[in-house]
Structure 1
Amino acid sequence: MTWLVTGGAGYIGSHVVRALQDADLPVAVIDDLSTGLEQFVPPEVPFVRGTLLDADLVRRTLREQRVTGVIHIAGFKYAGVSVQQPLHTYEQNVSAMVTLLKAMQECEVNMIVFSSSAATFGTPDVDLVTETTPTRPESPYGESKLIGEWLLADTARATGLRHTSLRYFNVVGSGSPDLYDVSPHNLFPLVFDMLYRGETPRINGDDYPTPDGTCVRDYIHVADLALAHVAAARRLQAGEPVEPVYNLGSGTGTSVREIMTAIRKVTGIDFEPTIAPRRPGDPARIVASGELAARDLGWRMRHSLEDMVRSAWEARQRAGDAYPR
C-alpha cells in the first residue's frame, strides 16, 4: 500500500512525505530536483530522480515500489512566470500528468490526490470562495491546474479512477526546521531573504479596498496542508466517498500588512516596509471557505499567524548561507 509522492523533494511534497510517515503509510518519492532538494527526502524513503515526462521511468517506479496510490504534487508552480513560459508550464503540468495517468492505468494504480491551486479561480467576484465558485483562471499556470482536474474527471468516468483535488492558496511555515520554502516568488522567502541581506521588504500596493489597504489572502501552514493530503489519501484507501475538489482555506484571510507586522514581531528586526506600485492583476481579496474539507478531511487552521512566521523564520535561519538563491 505504498503512496508515491511526485515532487516529494519539494517544500510541500517533503512535508507530505513526513506526514505519511507519521501516519505509518509506506511512501516513495519521484522528483527531478528542478526545484526540490534531495536532502529533504528522508534517507529511509525510496527516492527516484527523474521527470514524469519519462513514461518508462514512471511505469518502472510504480511497479518496483508497489505503488497503490499517488499524491501528485510535482509541477511548475509560478503563475507569473507561466505567462512568459506557457509551453513549459503546459508541458510540466499537463503533458506530465497525462503521462502519469497513462502509467497508472497500465500499472493498475487507481487512486490519486492532486495538488491543485486556487489559481483556478482567477479573480473571483465573491468575498468567500467555495467549491462551486466559477473557475476563471487568468494564467497558464491556473489553466494547467484546471485542465489537470478535468483530466482526472474524464479518466474517472472512463476507468473508475478514484481521485480528489485540493485547491489552496498561500502555503507558509515549516513543519520541521530542516524543511523550508525555496521559492524565489513566494512572500515569506522573499521577505526573509531581504531581511537576511539587511534590505527592506516592500509591499506592492497599499491602496486596495481592504481594511488596511493591502491585499488579503489565505495563508495556511504547510504542516496543516500535509495533513489534509494524508486525510484525502486515507479516505481513498478506505473506499470512503470524496468530493472531486476541496478548498483548503482559512475563511478569514490575512493582509500583507498583517504579515509584515507579524514578521517584525517574530524576527525582532525593526523595519518599515516600503510601498511599491500595485502588481498588475493582483485582486484585493481572495479568501476561501474550508467547510467542505473540514467535514471530510478534518481540515482546520491548527497554527496561528505567529506560528507560521516563527517556524518559517527558524527554518530559514537554520539554512543560513546554504539557502539556495
Structure 2
Amino acid sequence: MSWLVTGGAGYIGSHVVRALTGAGMTAVVLDDLSSGRPSFVPGDVTLVEGSILDRELVERTLREHAVTGVIHVAGFKYAGVSVQRPLHTYAQNVEGTRIILEAMAAADVSNIVFSSSAAVFGTPDVPLVEEDTAKRPSSPYGESKLIGEWLLRDQAIATAASEHPLRHTSLRYFNVVGSADPSVYDVSPHNLFPIVFEALLAGTTPRIFGDDYDTPDGTNVRDYVHVGDIALAHVAAAKRLESGEPIEAAYNLGSGDGLSVKQIMDAMVRVTGIEFVPEVGPRRPGDPDRIVATGALAARDLDWRMRHTVDEMVRSGWEARRSAG
C-alpha cells in the first residue's frame, strides 16, 4: 500500500514525500518536472515522470503501485501569473484534478488530500478567515482551486453509495516558506522568499510588489507557514482518511495573526545580516490586501500548529538556498 504524491518533485510536494516516509508510509511521486526537480525526490522513492493530464498514466501508476490514496499537490500555483494565463491555469488545476478523480474511480482508490489555497477566499471582509468564510476568489488561480474543492465534493456525493466512496479533504494555505531539508528549497520565481534570496545572492536590492495596500504598513499581509509544518498536516490528513476517522471537507492551515511583507523584509535583514531597503514595484494583479486564517479546526484534527518563528522560517530557507550553491 502506498500514497501517490502528485507534484512530489516540487518544493512542497517533496517535503510531503519526506514527511510520509518519515511516518513509515510508502510514497510514490508523479511529476512532469515542469517546475519540480528529480534531485528533490529521495533516492528510495519511486519517481514516475509524466503529467496529471495523462489519464492512462495516472491510472496505470495507481494500479502498479497499489496506491491507497492520493495527495494532490501538482498544479499551476501562481495567482498573479494566472491572470495572464487563465486557460493554462484551468487546464492544469481543474482538468488535472478531474482526471485524477476519474483515474482514482477506475482504480478503486478512494482517499484524496487536495492541496487547495487560501486564494479561494479572495479578499475576505472579516479579520480572521474561517473554513465557512465566503469564497470570492480574485484570480483564475483561486477560482481553479475552489472548483477543485467542488469536484471532490461532487464526486464524494456521486460515489457515496458505491463500494469505494470517495473520502477527501482540502487543505488551504497561502505563503509556504522555509525548508525542512537542506537539499530542498523554493525554486519559484514568483514567491517572496526566493525573490529576496536570489537578489541578495546576486548583490542586488530585493524588490517587493506594492506598498499601498490597505494594511497598517502598506504591504500585504499573509499567513506565512513553514513548509515542514504544511507537510506534516498533509500526512496527518492522509492517516485520518486511511483509518476511516471522521474528517472535515476543508481545513485552513493558518497562523491566526499573519505577517506583512515589511515584517518579512525586517526578518531577512536580521537573519542574513545584509542591510537593505527593498525597492517597491507595482502591485501584482489578483493579490488581495490581507488573508489571515485561523487554524483551530486543523489543530483539533491534524495536530496543526506553527512550530517555527519568522526568523526560523527565514533562516531555514536561506540556509537551504545557500547550500545549493
Structure 1 and Structure 2 fold alike (TM over 0.5): yes
Question: Quick one: structure 1 residues 85 and 157, their matched pair in 2 at CA, closer, same or farther if it must change by over 3 Å?
Answer: same
- Partner deviation per Cα, 1:113-153 (whole Å, 9 max, x = no partner): 00001111111111111101010111111111111100000
TM-score (norm 1): 0.96
The 10-residue stretch of structure 1 (18-27 or 210-219) with the greater mean CA deviation from structure 2: 210-219
Aligned-residue sequence identity (percent) comes to 69
Letter in 1 for 2:261: V
**Residue among 170, 178, 183 paired with 2:183:** 178
Distance, in Å, in 2 between the alignment partners of 1:64 and 1:208 is 50
Q: How does 1:227-306 map to 2 (within 5 A)?
A: 227-306=232-311
Match of 1:80 in 2: 80
Question: Quick one: structure 1 residues 139 and 278, their matched pair in 2 at CA, closer, same or farther if it must change by over 3 Å?
Answer: closer
**Secondary structure at the residue paired with 1:4?**
strand
Distance, in Å, in 1 between the alignment partners of 2:146 and 2:109 is 22
Deviation at 1:250, TM superposition (A): 0.2
Q: Which runs of 5+ in 1 are unaligned?
A: 321-325
Match of 2:105 in 1: 105
Match of 1:323 in 2: none
Match of 1:91 in 2: 91
Distance, in Å, in 1 between the alignment partners of 2:214 and 2:97 is 39
Matched, 1:162 2:150: no
Match of 2:45 in 1: 45
Deviation at 1:282, TM superposition (A): 3.4
RMSD of the TM alignment (CA)? 1.1
TM-score (norm 2): 0.96
Deviation at 1:98, TM superposition (A): 1.2
Match of 1:60 in 2: 60
The 10-residue stretch of structure 1 (260-269 or 202-211) with the greater mean CA deviation from structure 2: 202-211
Distance, in Å, in 1 between the alignment partners of 2:145 and 2:44 is 31
Distance, in Å, in 1 between the alignment partners of 2:56 and 2:226 is 35
**Secondary structure at the residue paired with 2:324?**
helix
Match of 2:124 in 1: 124
**Secondary structure at the residue paired with 1:133?**
coil
Match of 2:33 in 1: 33
Give the conservation status (yes or no) of the 8 Å contact 2:155–2:166.
yes
Distance, in Å, in 2 between the alignment partners of 1:99 and 1:213 is 41
- Partner deviation per Cα, 1:247-270 (whole Å, 9 max, x = no partner): 000000011111001111111111
Give the conservation status (yes or no) of the 8 Å contact 2:222–2:259.
yes
- Partner deviation per Cα, 1:19-61 (whole Å, 9 max, x = no partner): 0011001111100000000011111111100001111111110
Deviation at 1:280, TM superposition (A): 4.6
Match of 2:312 in 1: 307
Distance, in Å, in 2 between the alignment partners of 1:186 and 1:264 is 18
Distance, in Å, in 1 between the alignment partners of 2:18 and 2:46 is 13
The 10-residue stretch of structure 1 (85-94 or 223-232) with the greater mean CA deviation from structure 2: 85-94
Matched, 1:20 2:20: yes
**Secondary structure at the residue paired with 2:30?**
strand
Distance, in Å, in 2 between the alignment partners of 1:64 and 1:214 is 48
- Partner deviation per Cα, 1:82-111 (whole Å, 9 max, x = no partner): 111111111111111111111110110000
Deviation at 1:69, TM superposition (A): 0.4
Deviation at 1:166, TM superposition (A): 0.3
Distance, in Å, in 1 between the alignment partners of 2:213 and 2:62 is 48
**Secondary structure at the residue paired with 1:303?**
coil
